[in-house]
């Protein structure tokens, strides 16, 4: 077994892979800055040693056989410079996954702009419940497993399910991560413009997805969103079998008679027009019905029968930070956290929450943090995606100093446009000294009985979730 050191170990995927390989007997260590739950807690629970901050002394102390370089690590990082100067063996996280975890297993890769984590978690759970003991890598912590990555239980002849991110791999490898996962069964949920820091246009993203499609072997299967024209476009030249999933009758895998209850959604499953029975899944919104369709299609191609899928699906638990119910507090105030940070994800998430909590006021706290939403690329789309919310709290733009003023998201304009829609808007970033405590103060003065508070961010949001939980509990005393 090897001694493996992770530069940037606090990333969701990096930490998950580190823990999985430690369970395989490898000696694991690493370093990062600004580690916060759930990943810091996850590393601590699994006794992974990590250093706070980057220093050449960390590597000298660890003496690793292999150094994994996270894709957030760039030239100038003191540990990376030390590794290069001393000819240490470098590898990217996706290449490490392909080599040590995917190997000769059947590789199931879930790609797309939205829904990757939920769909990957669901595929892994269906296979697990079906007794197939899959390995998996998920960009979150799937609740059915309480771990983000594990090896296949049937090494070399089993299944490995990967969340296939289109983001780049490492400073020395600018390919999308999913290009290293050797797909046998591939899912494309949808394709939109995102990751403006590495992609210049939607065409650039489509080019990467076409390369992904071209990796699926002739005896493999591509499962693609038939309701998404862009996804269908990139799938057009596949050499493998292509099956569509969607809500329209043209799709091979179709959902109809969709019903949403208080605890789950159900739908009738059709394959090539033939009704196969009803499925129930503890998810909400049509976008999650699409995720369930894609997962069902993938599981059948792994050998599962629809009857077995129907038994497993109601037992699925959502990954953390995917419409995660943080708690219900006095005055029946409900707090929910979600990872949504793209305008489309924000819109469909809030619509699903409004449907689930029908008749209740939705209060949304959004942190513009991603490399796309901190710019004005989605200025118009952001003004249109909060339709289900009555109150919008806008967190401060993350690291705006990276951009010229004319490139940055204009939150004042966004506030004015949302107010024109009749919404109450609070720009928390205008008072940086008290941030994010000023959000807590605003909500303490604003919330009414039965309000649903939704925290949306792909980062920590200044630990807002914890601050709100403490506030709601304290005010109840």
Q: CA separation (Å) from 80 to 12, 32, 52, 61, 71?
A: 20, 12, 15, 15, 12
Q: Which residue has the tokens 């799709």?
A: 251
pLDDT at 339: 84
88, 105, 130 - which closes a domain: 88
Single residue among 41, 68, 88 that ends a domain in this structure: 88
CA 241-243-247 angle, 5° bins? 175
Query: What are the pLDDT digits (tens) for 273-298?
Result: 999 999 999 988 898 999 999 999 99
Question: Cβ(206)–Cβ(185) under 8 Å?
Answer: no
Report, as an integer, the average pLDDT of 239-266: 92
Boundary (domain end) residue, out of 315, 343, 375: 315
CATH number where 37 lies: 3.40.50.720
Contacts of 466 (CB under 8 A, 6+ apart): none
Lowest mean pLDDT among 37-41, 146-150, 359-363, 411-415: 37-41
Q: What is the pLDDT of residues 151-161, one digit of tens each?
A: 998 776 799 99
- Report yes or no: 134 and 124 within 8 Å, Cβ to Cβ: yes
389 and 458 in a single domain? The answer is: yes
Q: Do both 28 and 122 map to the same domain?
A: no
pLDDT of 254 > 90? The answer is: yes
Question: Are the C-beta atoms of 182 and 359 separated by less than 8 Å?
Answer: no
Q: State the average pLDDT over residues 141-152.
A: 89
Query: What phi, psi does 474 have (nearest 5°)?
Result: -65, -40
Alpha carbon distance 349, 357 (integer Å): 12
Between 286-301 and 116-129, two packed helices, what is the crossing angle to 10 degrees?
40
Regarding whether 300 and 375 lie in a shared domain, the answer is: no
Q: 73 and 104 share a domain?
A: no
- Taking residues 48-60, report their average pLDDT: 94
Residues 250-257: what's their mean pLDDT?
Answer: 95
When pLDDT is averaged across residues 153-171 and rounded to a whole number, the result is 90
Do 159 and 237 sit in the same domain of this protein?
A: yes
Q: Tell me, what CATH number does 357's domain have?
A: 3.90.190.20
pLDDT band at 197 (very low <50, low <70, confident <90, very high): confident
Q: Which pLDDT value is given to residue 425?
A: 94
Q: What is the pLDDT of residues 410-464, one digit of tens each?
A: 999 999 999 999 999 999 877 767 889 999 999 999 999 999 999 999 888 888 9
Query: Average pLDDT for residues 14-19, to the nearest whole number?
Result: 94
Distances (CA, A) of 225 to 123, 150, 233, 242: 16, 28, 11, 10
Model pLDDT, residue 474: 77
- In the predicted model, what is the mean pLDDT of residues 90-95? 97
User: Quick one: average pLDDT of 55-78?
Assistant: 95
Q: Is the domain of 67 the same as that of 99?
A: no
Spatial neighbors of 53 by CB under 8 A, at least 6 apart, are 31, 33
Average pLDDT over residues 352-366: 92
Query: In degrees rounded to 5, what are phi and psi of residue 117?
Result: -65, -45
Do 349 and 407 belong together in one domain? yes
How far CA 67 is from CA of 48, 64, 110, 172, in Å, comes to 15, 7, 26, 13
Residues 390 and 451 in one domain: yes
Tell me the CATH number at 154. 3.40.1190.10
Q: What is the DSSP letter of 165?
A: -
Mean pLDDT of the chain: 92
Query: Tokens 């490492």 appear where?
Result: 170
Residue 78 domain boundaries: 3-88
Q: Which backbone phi and psi does 372 adopt, to 5 degrees?
A: -100, -45
pLDDT of 477 above 60: no
Assess whether 81 and 103 both reside in one domain.
Answer: no
* pLDDT given for residue 476 in this prediction: 58
Same domain, 264 and 330: no
Total of domains in the chain? 3
CA distance 435 to 461: 10
Q: Based on the domain organization, do 303 and 195 belong to the same domain?
A: yes
Q: Report the pLDDT averaged over residues 350-365.
A: 92
Q: How many CA atoms lie within 13 A of 450 on its CB side?
A: 6
**pLDDT band, residue 67 (cuts 50/70/90):** very high
The string of pLDDT tens digits covering residues 201-221 is 899 999 999 999 999 999 999
Q: Are residues 73 and 164 in the same domain?
A: no
The count of C-alpha atoms lying within 13 angstroms of the C-alpha of 176, restricted to the half-sphere facing its C-beta, is 26
pLDDT of residue 376: 87
- pLDDT band at residue 258 using 50, 70 and 90 as cut-offs: very high
């Amino acid at each position: 077994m090897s001694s493996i050191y992770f530069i940037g170990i606090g990333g969701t995927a990096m930490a998950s892979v580190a823990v999985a390989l430690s369970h395989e007997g490898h000696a694991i260590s690493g370093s990062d800055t600004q580690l916060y739950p759930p990943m810091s807690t996850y590393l601590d629970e699994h006794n992974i040693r990590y250093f706070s901050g980057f220093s050449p002394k960390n590597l000298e102390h660890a003496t690793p056989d292999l150094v994994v370089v996270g894709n957030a690590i760039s030239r100038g990082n003191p540990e990376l410079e030390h590794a290069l100067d001393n000819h240490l063996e470098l590898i990217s996280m996706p290449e490490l996954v392909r080599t040590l975890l995917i190997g000769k297993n059947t590789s199931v890769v879930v790609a797309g702009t939205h829904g990757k984590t939920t769909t990957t978690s669901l595929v892994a759970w269906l296979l697990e419940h079906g007794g197939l003991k899959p390995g998996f890598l998920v960009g979150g912590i799937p609740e059915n497993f309480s771990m983000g990555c594990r090896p296949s239980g049937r090494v070399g002849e089993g299944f490995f399910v990967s969340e296939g991110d289109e983001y780049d791999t490492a400073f020395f490898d600018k390919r999308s991560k999913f290009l290293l996962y050797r797909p046998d069964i591939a899912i494309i949920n949808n394709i939109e413009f995102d990751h403006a820091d590495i992609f210049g246009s939607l065409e650039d993203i489509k080019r990467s997805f076409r390369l992904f499609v071209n990796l699926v072997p002739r005896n493999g299967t591509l499962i693609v969103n038939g309701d998404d024209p862009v996804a269908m476009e990139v799938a057009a030249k596949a050499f493998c079998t292509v099956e569509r999933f969607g809500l329209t009758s043209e799709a091979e895998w179709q959902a109809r008679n969709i019903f949403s209850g208080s605890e789950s959604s159900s739908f009738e499953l059709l394959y090539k027009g033939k009704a196969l029975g009803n499925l129930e899944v503890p998810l909400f919104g049509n976008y999650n019905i699409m995720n369930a369709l894609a997962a069902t299609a993938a599981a059948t191609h792994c050998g599962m029968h629809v009857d077995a899928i129907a038994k497993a699906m109601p037992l699925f638990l959502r990954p953390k930070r995917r419409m995660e119910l943080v708690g219900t507090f006095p005055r029946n105030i409900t707090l929910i956290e979600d990872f949504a940070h793209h305008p489309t994800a924000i819109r469909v998430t809030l619509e699903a929450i409004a449907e689930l909590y029908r008749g209740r006021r939705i209060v949304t706290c959004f942190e513009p943090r991603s490399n796309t939403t901190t710019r004005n690329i989605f200025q118009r789309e952001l003004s249109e995606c909060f339709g289900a919310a009555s109150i919008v709290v806008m967190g401060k733009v993350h690291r705006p100093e990276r951009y010229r003023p004319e490139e940055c998201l204009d939150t004042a304009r966004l506030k004015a446009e949302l107010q024109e829609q009749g919404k109450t808007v609070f720009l928390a970033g205008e008072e940086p000294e008290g941030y994010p405590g000023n959000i807590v103060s605003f909500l303490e003065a604003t919330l009414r009985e039965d309000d649903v508070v939704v925290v949306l961010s792909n980062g920590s949001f200044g630990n807002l979730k914890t601050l709100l939980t403490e506030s709601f509990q304290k005010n109840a005393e």
